Structures are given as structure tokens and as C-alpha cells.
């Protein structure tokens, strides 16, 4: 999974930003209470903790974010921070589509 999504930092985040996000993450998901999330956060941190790691990830990462397409969607939903809300027109379209779907 995308380590930037897991830690909730943008791709241009600095080492300090990433470390801060990591510390917040493990505080919110301590290993004894949320072992899976803790592991995901720790792993994400290792992948992008410094510039060299981030560059290597950008160039050489081969690991897919899921085992199947829907598994990827599930992983994305579980780890992605809340998306930005739709703009108003998109919201209207979405709400109106709920009448037929």
C-alpha cells in the first residue's frame, strides 16, 4: 500500500513531516491495541523515512497495493485518509444518482 496514504502525508513531505506523522500514527494505533495498523504504519515509515528511501520507492517499488483489484480497493479504503469532499456539482450528481442505483 501507498506509504504516503498510510501516513497521511503528501508526496513532497519532508523527513520531519514524515517522522511526525509516524509518531502520531503509532500513538493512535499502539501495537497491543491495533497490531495490524501499527505494522502498516511502521512499514510505511521505513519506506519513506528519508530522501533516499523515497527516491528508491519511486523508482524501484514493484509491490502491488493488493492481491486483486477489489483487494486493492479495500486496502485503499482502509488506509487512505478521508478524501476531500466532492465539489457541489459533483455532490448533486452523486445524490441524484442514489435514486436510481
Partner 1 sequence: MAKHQKHHKHVAAALPLDELERKANEALAAERWRQARDFFKLLCKQDHAKYLPGLIQANRGLAEALMQKGQVSEAEQVLAHLRTIAPQEEFGTVELKRAVRTEDWSAAAQTAVELWTARGDTLNEKDRQAVADALVLAFPYVEEGGEAANWPDPVRSELTAVINALRAVSEERYETAQDLLRPLPRASIFANWKTLIKGWIAFYTGAREKARSLLAMLPPDGVPAKAAEPVRVLTEPQVLRGPRTAERDHAVASVCRFLGAPEMGNSLVQADELWKAGKVVDSLQLMRRAREFPSTQSTLAGALSEFYFRVGFTLRGQVQKKYFGMIERLRTTGNLKNEAENFLVDRLLALDALLNPYSTPEGEWRRFLRHFESDPRRAKLTSLALVMVAGQLTQHEPEMGIFGFGPVRRRTEPRAATRLLKESIQANPENLVAYLKLLEIYKRDKDSAERNRLLDEMTRRFPNEKAVLLEAGIGCIERKTYVKGLGYLERARQLDPLDPQVADWIVVAQIRLARQQYEKKQTEKARATFRSIASRPSIGKLDFNSEEPFLHARQGILEIQHGDPATGEQLLAQARQETQSLSCMLMYMHGCYRSYAKDSARGKQSPFWDELSKTRPRGARERMELLRAFIYVGVLGDHLKWQKEIDLVMKHLEPAAKEEFTVKEAAELSLLLWDKKDGRKLGKRLVKQGLRHDPLNPRFRVLDVLMEQDPPYHRATELEDAVADARDAGDLEVVKAAKGPLETLMEFAGPSIFDEWDDEGDEEGEEPDFGGLPPMPGGFPIEEVSEMKRAAEKMSDEEFAAFRKESSKYVPLPIFDILMGTRNRDKSAPGRRGDDQPELF
Interface positions with partner 1 (CB under 8 A): 2, 4-5, 11, 51-52, 55-56, 58-66, 68-78, 80-88, 90-92, 94-101
- Smallest separation (angstroms) from partner 1 to the CB of 24: 11
CB of 32 vs partner 1, minimal distance in Å: 19
CB of 31 to partner 1, least distance (A): 20
Q: CB-wise, 39 or 93, nearer to partner 1?
A: 93
Cβ distance to partner 1 smaller for residue 33 or 99: 99
Q: Following CA atoms 92, 98, 99, 101 in sequence, which dihedral angle do they give, to the nearest 10 degrees?
A: 140
Integer Cα distance of 34 and 32 in angstroms: 6
Closest by Cα among 14, 29, 15, 16 to 6: 29
Contacts of 36 (CB under 8 A, 6+ apart): none
Amino acid at each position: 500500500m501507498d506509504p504516503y496514504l498510510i501516513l497521511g502525508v503528501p508526496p513532497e513531505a519532508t523527513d520531519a513531516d514524515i517522522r511526525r506523522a509516524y509518531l502520531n500514527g503509532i500513538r493512535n494505533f499502539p501495537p497491543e491495541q491495533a497490531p495490524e495498523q501499527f505494522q502498516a504504519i511502521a512499514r510505511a515509515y521505513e519506506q519513506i523515512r528519508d530522501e533516499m528511501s523515497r527516491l528508491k520507492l519511486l523508482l524501484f517499488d514493484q509491490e502491488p497495493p493488493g492481491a486483486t483489484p477489489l483487494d486493492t480497493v479495500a486496502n485503499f479504503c482502509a488506509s487512505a485518509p478521508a478524501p476531500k469532499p466532492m465539489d457541489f456539482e459533483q455532490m448533486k450528481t452523486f445524490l441524484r444518482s442514489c435514486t436510481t442505483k
